Amino acid sequence: MTISNHSAMAASVLAGKRILVTGVLTPKSIAFAIAAACQAAGAEIALTSFGRAMSLTQRSALRLSPVPHVFEMDAVDTDQVAAVASAVKDRWGGVDSVVHAIGYAPEDCLGGNFMETPWESVATAIHVSSFSMKTLAREFSPLMPQTGGAMLALTFDATVAWPLYDWMGPTKAALESIVRYLARDLGDRRIRVNTIAAGPLNTIAARAVPGFEALRNAWADRSPLHWDTGDAGPVADAAVFLLSDMARAVTGEILHVDGGFHCLGARNVGPDFGPTE
């Protein structure tokens, strides 16, 4: 079933919501699937991108209906984030939800080089992929209505150590912890902060992870629900739920949308992402 068919079951669940989605590159991006699902559920959306990625995001935006505005925003540039928050306020009067789908690590943070990776590379990965969540929360949470709002991040289960994923593992663990602290600090304002731990999907970001193909195959073979790495629809539909008022009492949560792979006791994979004996 396609993303739109799934979302049709929850048509209008996000009616009237204004949602800012970061991290859209191509139509295969998880963030693109989330943006499309939010539109199908009745939300008005806007996207962010920056630098050389802007042209990719703008082309992808043309695949959405209505075509959303694309703001230029580098999430590690606090002045730029503040400027976009001001522009969003001028455009919409406020915002109901923000989706953090931002992740980057220098090449030497991945691929089995964990013990040799320098702090400078790790610092970049944490700044872009983790600390930026706090930066977005600081600037956009004041724009959310008194009745509440939502922030959502994307992670890859950081409770275990994955072969070759290396410093992106601790980086995602930091993101998950930041989500919990934001949930604590923003709860009085009825702002919910949650995370989706998605299974591996065929995205540009995933292809940058060494050994992704073997990981993808192992996941598809061993997940109880037979995970489809080409279908971001289940993640997008879960995002719609967490951004909607149906999840009004859910915060600080990590929702696994991974075909059930996380629940298996014997889920270790070897250095080539094949099952261990």
- Active site amino acids: 165, 172
Burial 153-180 (b: 16+ CB within 10 A, else e): bbbbbbeeebbbbbbbbbbbebbbebbb
CB of 157 within 8 A of CB of 262? Answer: yes
| Residues 6+ positions from 133 with CB-CB distance below 8 Å | 100, 151, 153, 175, 178, 179, 182
Q: How far apart are CA 228 and CA 217, in angstroms?
A: 10
Q: Which segments of 164-266 does DSSP mark as H helices, in order?
A: 168-186, 204-207, 212-222, 233-243
| Residues 6+ positions from 165 with CB-CB distance below 8 Å | 110, 156, 209
| Residues 6+ positions from 241 with CB-CB distance below 8 Å | 10, 247
Q: How far apart are CA 27 and CA 211, in angstroms?
A: 23
Q: How far apart are CA 135 and CA 36, in angstroms?
A: 25
Strand partners, 99: 21, 152
- At 230, which amino acid appears? G
Rounded to the nearest 5 percent, the helix, strand and coil shares of the chain are: 45, 15, 40
